[in-house]
Structure 1
Amino acid sequence: MKVFLWGIFICLGTLTIAQAQITQNATRQLRIYEDDDFFNVWGRGTDRGYSNGTAIGYVYMKKKKSTFLDKWIFPKAGPSAINVFEWQLMQVMITPNQIADTSFHPNDFYYAGALFATHGLTSYNPVKKYAFHSELVFGVLGPWAGAEQTQRLFHRLIHYQEPEGWGNQVPNAPLLNYYFSFEAMLWNPVKSLEITREIGIHAGTMMTSLGASLYGRYGLINPYFGGTDLDAATRRKFQLYIFARPQFAINLFNALLQGGIFRSTDTNFEELTDQQTSYMRRFTIGMDYGVGIGIGRTTICYTQQTATAWMSGTGKHSVGNITLLIPLSKATYFP
């Protein structure tokens, strides 16, 4: 399995690209997103902790004024803002270190899976160089999410060991979350270097946390927050750059690590909780880094996401991410 996956990783790794790239010159885009802890630039892939996350999304701009949720819960960054909306469907899974063992490991992660949709808005202010990102998340946690079936199917396809401990997963629960962040330019001494700062908050039945980060990138780039002149803002048809994002988080609740809002009503999970010796870390720090390429309106991104232990005793963890943005429209739209 690892030889097979490493071959895929090398092919995709040659086309890597940045996160949070503005879609100012493509009104409709398809986004394909894959997290996997086997993806690792240092060749130290694993199959534990946050093991996999797969998503497909639709990113778009619109001429019509927003109504209902888009109007009331997604703030815009001023009257001259560039507003990029999105819909996304995502499945994630978390597993302990020994997936071939049917027994419960009290000093490790629970098995957990979530299936959810997100709807959000990233609103850029190209004049004052700041952005709001707001997002509504709704879905399910537990067996309803189908993570067990997904992992079993994939492991059979690549002839890898069967995951046998899904009988110990967190119970079913609804997920409803809201996320909001503010990002602003911190330092932009030359066109090839940008550093931004960001603070964000998650609240709801999926997770509640507060985080802050810096994001820096260097290379052949278009302006991070876009521009009032479309031609100037998209002057580079080829982009190539490296980036890094140091960050920290204060974690108050995470349903994938602790169980959802109905965990106390599940007798089997209560027994597992009584045995559990590992606990969620309240403070985590991490570093995301990678390299990006943009060719016209197509971008592809590889990010290595490294963080301190989410659960006590499980050690630091690293997950690779590949994100591909494919334009679906030829026409550009700039409000």
Structure 2
Amino acid sequence: MKYLLSCFWFCLTSISAITATAQVTQDATRQIQIYEDDDYFNVWGRGTDRAYSNGTGLGYIYMKNKKSTFLDKILLHQAGADAINVFEWDLMQIMITPNEIADTSYQPKDFYYAGALFATHALNSYNPIKKYSFRTEIVFGVMGPWSFTKEAQTFFHKLISYQPPRGWENQVPNSPLLNYNFTFEVMLWNPLKSLEIIGGLDGKAGTMTTSGSVYTYFRYGLMNPYFGDINLARGTKRRFQLYVIARPQVSVIAYNALLQGGIFRSTSSNFEELSGEQRTHMRNFTIGMDYGIGIVIKRTTISYTQKTQTEWMSGTGKHSVGNITLLIPISRKTIPEK
């Protein structure tokens, strides 16, 4: 049943991309983003229901001519005076579970039950002349029972008549989440309009995740330039886009609250007892590969990405999660009004 529902969702979003009227970054001043991670989505037909099991997000993406003030001006960095600036608000819930979700007992050789509910305020700032970009994010939210992840998974599994998760009594305790994330990307090689090779550095610091990553991002196909164009009309000229992507990456993780229990783990005697029995531990070094396809029709974008990574926790094995992202324009303007 879950497989059929997944297929239905993929078909539904594909149809939306074809019938809606509109693309990304500088090609629409306001957009809605629907973002869905699920480890049951798998191009090889090997879906699972464990580890990072699900992430559901809803976002609002917009451009503006007004200058940023207060925290936006201090924390969200622009890529120079000629930058194309795209702001973003997102709300997301994620869940992590062990492999045997029907088991009510604690599973010390697997993941903790963990969930988070958080908001993200971000700025994507592209420099079309020098071909580089900054993405800065402020993340704030909660983890543990306050995230209502138990209720969300229980409701969804009941809806699709799938096995109910029975181990949420063993989840990580409540903790606040506050993070500051920064990503830098730059064009490495662009010999053809149809081929872009981009290098990236990503850093995260805070009570949710502290980590660093380096990656290379390949795009090939019919597409508008990744970093845009100083001439908006020229930068958004192609109305139909079809391209494939690949992103090999290496990450070093110093801290992950959802894998380690959060900053208030010591205040929960029950969790301290459980963590004392834990037989697995977080990996500080991971290697991953993302690959997928993007389709743009007029200004509506749909992409599918398969994200595979070496094990997050020792002894749990590598894991793969599929992602569907849909961008729907809610404005006809491609340039913000002054």
Whether the aligned pair in 2 keeps the contact of 1:218 and 1:241 (CA below 8 Å) is yes
Other-structure match for 1:7: 7
Distance in 2 separating the partners of 1:13 and 1:72? 37
Alignment match, 2:331:
329
Letter aligned with residue 248 of structure 1: V
Per the alignment, residue 229 of structure 1 pairs with 231
2:322 aligned to 317, 320, 326, which one? 320
Matched, 1:145 2:147: yes
TM (normalized to structure 2)? Answer: 0.96
Q: How many residues align?
A: 332
In structure 1, what is the equivalent of residue 85 of structure 2?
Answer: 83
The amino acid across from 1:76 in the alignment is Q
Distance 1:111 1:10 in 2: 27
Runs of 5+ unmatched residues, structure 1: none
Asked if the contact 2:2/2:160 (under 8 Å) is kept, the reply is no
Contact 2:24 2:301 in 1 (8 A): no
Deviates more, 1:242-251 or 1:8-17: 8-17
The TM-score with structure 1 as length reference comes to 0.96
Aligned: 1:164 with 2:187: no
Please state how far the C-alpha of 1:14 moved relative to its aligned partner.
5.4
CA distance in 1 between partners of 2:16 and 2:114 (Å): 29
- In structure 2, the residue matched to 1:51 is 53
Q: Is the 8 A contact 1:15 1:301 kept in 2?
A: no
CA contact (8 A) 2:248 2:289 kept: yes
SS at structure 1 position matched to 2:46: coil
Is the contact made by 2:232 and 2:335 (CA closer than 8 Å) also made in structure 1?
no
Q: Which residue of 1 aligns with 2:221?
A: 219
Equivalent AA in structure 1 for residue 269 of structure 2: T
Deviations 1:177-234 (CA, angstroms, capped at 9, x unpaired)? 0000110000100000001000011000001001111000100010000001112111
Identity of aligned residues (%): 66
Give, as a single letter, the amino acid of the residue that structure 2 aligns with 1:100.
A
Give the SS at the match of 2:155: helix
Q: In structure 2, do the counterparts of structure 1 residues 15 and 207 end up closer, same or farther at CA, with 3 Å as the change threshold?
A: farther
* CA contact 1:22–1:224 (8 Å) conserved in 2: no
2-structure distance, mates of 1:320, 1:14 = 15
User: Cα deviation per residue 1:3-34 (whole Å; 9 max; x = unaligned)?
Assistant: 423432552585799xxx84102000000000
Report matched runs for 1:1-335 at 5 Å. 1-8=1-8, 11=11, 22-333=24-335
Structure 2 Cα separation of the partners of residues 84 and 231 of structure 1: 17
SS in 1 for 2:27: coil
Counterpart secondary structure, 1:99: coil
CA 67–6 in structure 1, closer or farther in 2 if over 3 Å, else same:
closer
Cα deviation 1:75-131 (Å, max 9, x = unaligned): 100001000000000000000000000011111000000000000101000000000
Query: Aligned Cα RMSD in Å?
Result: 1.5
Query: Per the alignment, in what secondary structure is the counterpart of residue 272 of structure 2?
Result: helix
- Equivalent residues of 1:137, 1:178 under 8 A apart: yes
Structure 2 Cα separation of the partners of residues 6 and 33 of structure 1? 14
